[in-house]
Structure 1
């Protein structure tokens, strides 16, 4: 299959930006996972192989990789625990009316079924008041873990907010109080809360259309991308982070930078004495009563990618989303304190967010690694590149999880249509409650 004019790095398309003409995309049906026949045979034919060195530079090979990351890169398990899986009850099947739902997207009217197809959805599940009313897989095995990309950030942010609630982490403390290793870095003078809200000021560019961007150095330090033999830069995350400079203008603007979450993950490891997988497993994954083990991807030194590395199955993420909707309660347990969710839903400075120019997210803010819509329903989201999303609408009783393999990483490629799609779905289900 002909490669797209797109090279992905850290799951991020280098050939497409918010203002560039998008590349010509393949028919989504033609690149369904179950039709690609990649990595088939013993051994697979050369044109059917996916490797750690190639998966980010080729599509649709990347689609296979998003379901099989631990076969390409080192990982650490997030245990589900020894107990039975918690119920995820079925409600009235709303498949026909959901797929037929029509709404106006960025490029005109379309159905919800067309929206799912056009966003290269691998699997989607919709819960209404905690019951499954729609579930569909597009070539993705039900039990298959899928990379969450930046939805991982929200998992880390949730644990950080819980630790603040417990008095084990001080949101107003300086980053360097916990990480003296960053005393000469751009995080000097920044608070933990500024890292949580991504308003700490560091000289780091996350420009995916620029092969010289700092995100390239980040990807190589994390082990996401092959490192040339003569590369002089850092080859692990905690070697790379201290090298990032800054001007110290903290709290003045929101800029989405994955390295902030890596710093946050480092702080949590220092505070708890646990790695990220252990924290997630003990505090969230096992108490949820998940069906499947999840896992985190690792850098060459064995450090999890706190900003992008979690992989999990669709139904387990639905359990997680329902816990968020239900003020931290699920499976008969209060897994996260309700005050934690209340704090996150408050959002942050919308003017600082507005200045960042995020396409399709006008009116939003970013707080504690979550995207807060500030709409009338109090909807909030976890988002990841290539179309990963958990959408939580408390007022409508709605949770939607979508795992995707969109060829274009940036959310600007689909979020202007995703937003009205979520609004239309909420209105449909609200009238059926």
Structure 2
């Protein structure tokens, strides 16, 4: 393994990476649900629409319009272009949609005016419209499906309607589905030890942890995921995985090199702490147990069975290993098909794509008290189970979420599926989730009539 950066180098890299992973130092207070007066100011979303930015246009593009892997996350609004062109910046692996006919999504415009007129009350007592919500959440595209019909779709910031979009941690939920399908088929034991499958982690923090503890993120390792902290371990993860680059980095050059370097913390199974590296370990387990790449598993088990319009793809580290916790890219309408499959207990396109028992298990959730101790803004009453966010509300809501505003919202009780793709200037969803939750609740009430 390559030597780790010195402390002095790490400080310098961390300082640079505060921008390189998309977070400026003055934004750190966002992670503590700050008052509005404490939040940074950004340009209105409509004023920096992708169509106005002219990134990567020309032969060659002007220097100030060029975007590279080393700085695509450096400052907003460069992310608006990057999140729709990730495979042009970083190596990727195809997730094939297959040759089956495209599943049609019927469209009904009857509810569009009512949705546009919806008034949503925020936690401070103020009200916003649905258009305000799209603007404030820096939505690139949004799709609402009710009872199997598209009742609302908008593309305020998309280069093309079917552009694949970076999903960040929505990837985790796909990885969780594949792992649980392997468990249900008897190829993987949820209570087996991580090190039974990955002996390379025997001296790491995952020693003694079970697969289920990794799925629920209750395995405890010495790793911090505080994006606004330039010395956080997430910086090492980003550089090792190739999410970004820095010339001073001399640490691990792949996920397989990086993961064994993470040490132990508290006892496993007692604390929920959200850590992307658990999902990377889960991806490693899937590949080792099944003998297949994660992209192949997602394609064979899920994507090719949806009647998708487009291939999806997943990003790779420098050695060809998929980012199992962050690398998926897919289009809006195909994610709508995915959400509808989940809403219908795993059945879609005249076949059972995901076992109904698995959907029921996800909805059961996990330890809500442990989740509450973690302190996730705007998510009172939730838990995290099998790489999904679980609301524990009467409608049986569960969600996949990714930074910068990515959301797959499944509401079986209201027969509602919602997908939002975004490029919010601040990565953490803590800044917008309370608003988003109030909007999805108001939508469910409206569509129920």
TM bracket, shorter-chain basis: over 0.9
Q: Which residue of 2 aligns with 1:310?
A: 328
Q: Which residue of 1 aligns with 2:5?
A: none
Matched, 1:418 2:436: yes
TM-superposed CA distance for 1:247, in Å, is 3.2
Provide Cα deviations, 1:140-170, integer angstroms capped at 9, x if missing partner.
Answer: 1111000000000000001111111111110
TM-superposed CA distance for 1:113, in Å, is 1.3
Q: Which residue of 2 aligns with 1:429?
A: 447
TM-superposed CA distance for 1:8, in Å, is 4.8
Aligned equivalents of 2:383 and 2:259: distance in 1? 25
TM-superposed CA distance for 1:248, in Å, is 5.1
Provide Cα deviations, 1:91-140, integer angstroms capped at 9, x if missing partner.
Answer: 34422111110011234211111111110101000000111010110131
Provide Cα deviations, 1:232-285, integer angstroms capped at 9, x if missing partner.
Answer: 311100100000001350011100000000000000001111111111111100
Aligned equivalents of 1:279 and 1:93: distance in 2? 38
Matched, 1:178 2:197: yes
Contact map agreement 1:35 1:139 (CA 8 A) in 2: no
Contact map agreement 2:93 2:313 (CA 8 A) in 1: yes
The 1:9–1:156 alpha-carbon spacing in structure 2 relative to 1, beyond 3 Å, is farther
Choose which of 3, 9, 18 in structure 1 pairs with 2:31. Answer: 18
Aligned equivalents of 1:128 and 1:309: distance in 2? 28
Unaligned runs of 5+ in 2: 1-15
User: Aligned pair count?
Assistant: 426
Aligned equivalents of 2:396 and 2:407: distance in 1? 16
Higher alpha-carbon deviation: 7-16 or 22-31: 7-16
4+ residue runs over 6 A deviation: none
Q: Which residue of 1 aligns with 2:303?
A: 285
Matched, 1:143 2:169: no
Higher alpha-carbon deviation: 269-278 or 85-94: 85-94
Contact map agreement 2:316 2:327 (CA 8 A) in 1: yes
Q: What does 1:347-366 correspond to in 2, within 5 Å?
A: 347-366=365-384
Matched position secondary structure for 2:115: helix
Q: Which residue of 2 aligns with 1:261?
A: 279
Choose which of 418, 421, 435 in structure 2 pairs with 1:400. Answer: 418
Choose which of 370, 384, 388 in structure 1 pairs with 2:402. Answer: 384
The 1:13–1:268 alpha-carbon spacing in structure 2 relative to 1, beyond 3 Å, is farther
Matched, 1:209 2:222: no
TM-superposed CA distance for 1:11, in Å, is 5.5
Matched position secondary structure for 2:380: coil
Aligned equivalents of 2:180 and 2:294: distance in 1? 15
Provide Cα deviations, 1:263-318, integer angstroms capped at 9, x if missing partner.
Answer: 00000001111111111111100011100011000000000100000000000000
Q: Which residue of 1 aligns with 2:118?
A: 101
Matched position secondary structure for 2:31: coil
Aligned equivalents of 2:217 and 2:305: distance in 1? 29
The 1:100–1:8 alpha-carbon spacing in structure 2 relative to 1, beyond 3 Å, is farther
Aligned equivalents of 2:113 and 2:387: distance in 1? 34
Matched, 1:325 2:343: yes
Choose which of 74, 86, 100 in structure 1 pairs with 2:91. Answer: 74
Give the TM-score taking structure 2 as reference length.
0.92
Aligned equivalents of 1:392 and 1:419: distance in 2? 12
RMSD: 1.5
Aligned equivalents of 1:88 and 1:12: distance in 2? 38
Aligned equivalents of 2:302 and 2:23: distance in 1? 28
Aligned equivalents of 2:157 and 2:52: distance in 1? 8
TM-superposed CA distance for 1:82, in Å, is 1.4
The 1:376–1:13 alpha-carbon spacing in structure 2 relative to 1, beyond 3 Å, is farther
Q: Which residue of 2 aligns with 1:234?
A: 252
Matched position secondary structure for 2:419: strand
TM-superposed CA distance for 1:57, in Å, is 0.7
